[in-house]
Amino acid sequence: MIKKENFGSSFKWGVTLSAFQNEGAAVADRKGPSIWDAFSSDTQNINNGDFIGEASDFFRRYREDISLAKSLNFGVFRLAISWPRIIPDGYGQVNQSGIDFYNRVIDTCLEKDLEPWLTLYHWDLPQALEDKGGWTNRKIITWYSNFVDICVQAFGDRVQHWVVMNEPMTFTGLGYFMGYHAPMRKGIGNFLPAAHHATLCMAEAGRIIRSASAKNEIGPALSCSYVRPYNHRLINIRAAKRVEALLNRFFLEPLLGLGYPTDVMPVLRVMERYFQPGDEDKMSFDFDFIGLQYYFRVVAKFSLSPPLLFAKEIAPNTRKSNLNVMNLDVHPGGMSKLLKFYASYPQIKKLLITESGVCYPDFQVARHVHDVRRMKYHQKMLKQVLKAKKKGVPVEGYFVWTLVDNFEWREGFEPRFGLVHVDFDTQKRVVKDSGLWFQDFLK
């Protein structure tokens, strides 16, 4: 049986929330519209025709949610800052009401003896900037730097832990290549510049935050997947290596000063068409930690489509897989393998699991919400983290996605990841079995 003490006294235990997925209050206190406000306003874009409404109403219930996190014995409260709540049009006048809201949230965290960790970008780009090209417009570097600087000035006196960006591969890949997420743009011609500009923005954010205080701890939160080949045929092994490069190395290596992974994907040399003088150096920054967010395994094989990648995933529902509500392959065993892989980079000082969670159905009986599968998932994940830690991997934190059920982007309200159940009609919170397990484990 795993014990909290096995991880060491300096190990960080936290919960994570997102601005768009949790706050609601889309127009309160002069907040501007984001690309996700625009996207979700058409309920045909959302699973089951769900309307986000007030989401989980964190904007009004932040004290209750922060108190819940404390009652479950977590020490870190990671929250995202809504860019359009701070700067409604993305780059112009600062909205003091937005600053005041996050000041109240941060102060409440500190009152409850919770360490506030701020995520500067969790996908809700101001719509006014998307109208100017969004992440495909190189001016985004200036716009983003301005936003980061404002946040550091407003919150830096009390916040020392900063996540510069959340899952850049997800929002650029699904939003600017596949058109599945906001802002629904498609094609390699959108994805490549958006991805390059996101890389530059992460590194520049690091420099801005570091210049404010040498005590600040800074890192990105990168999505990753355990990738294995369909079989041992060389053609499929090479295909899996390309998928791995795209999912696990694409953003990491330029941030570490290694450039894009052209060794297994020579096609990525095309990225250079978006370079300007000095970009090779500007892409990298000496981060204090690398945050990893692992949700699913990928089994890959060679395919003529899509071109350039020449690989595809074997659909999880066609093979023996442990599927979550979103039909993704849940594989806790991949966690230790991924941690070992990332620890092989000598440039990485420290690793954190900045998100770990799963969407399984909840079962409500009277006043209790049972989610045994979610509880066992976290237990299995923690065993894998501890396995890696015992082998010398510098992993120093585990943050649960998420504290309370919320709006899961295009998938709507059906996928529930929370340790706390939310009745979205009444906003009533009920701690699930998984939350009670953490409460006991972290005592």
CATH number at 107 reads 3.20.20.80
Number of compact structural domains in the chain: 1
Q: Which of 23, 54, 130, 167 is catalytic?
A: 167
C-alpha to C-alpha distance for 433 and 370, rounded to whole angstroms: 5
Averaged pLDDT, 173-196:
98
Residue 36's alpha-carbon distances to 186, 327, 410, in angstroms, are: 16, 23, 9
End-to-end CA distance of the chain: 15
Number of residues assigned to the chain:
443
pLDDT at 219: 99
pLDDT at 177: 97
As a whole-number percent, the residues of the chain with pLDDT over 90 amount to: 98
As a whole-number percent, the residues of the chain with pLDDT over 70 amount to: 100
Catalytic residue status for 167? yes
Domain that holds residue 218: 4-441
Q: Which of 23, 253, 355, 408 is catalytic?
A: 355
Q: What is the pLDDT of residues 202-227, one digit of tens each?
A: 999 999 999 999 999 999 999 999 99
C-alpha to C-alpha distance for 230 and 240, rounded to whole angstroms: 8
Whether the predicted pLDDT of 322 surpasses 90: yes
Q: With beta carbons less than 8 A apart as the criterion, state whether 30 and 84 touch.
A: no
Phi and psi based region of residue 314 (left: phi greater than 0; alpha: psi -120 to 50; beta: remaining): beta
Catalytic residue status for 253? no
Averaged pLDDT, 322-336:
98
Cis peptide before 261 (omega within 30 of 0): no
Residue 116, beta-bridge partner list: 77
**How would you label 346-367 residue by residue, b for 16+ Cβ within 10 Å and e otherwise?**
eebebbbbbbbbbbbebeeeee
Residue tagged 């490549």 (tokens): 192
pLDDT at 5: 98
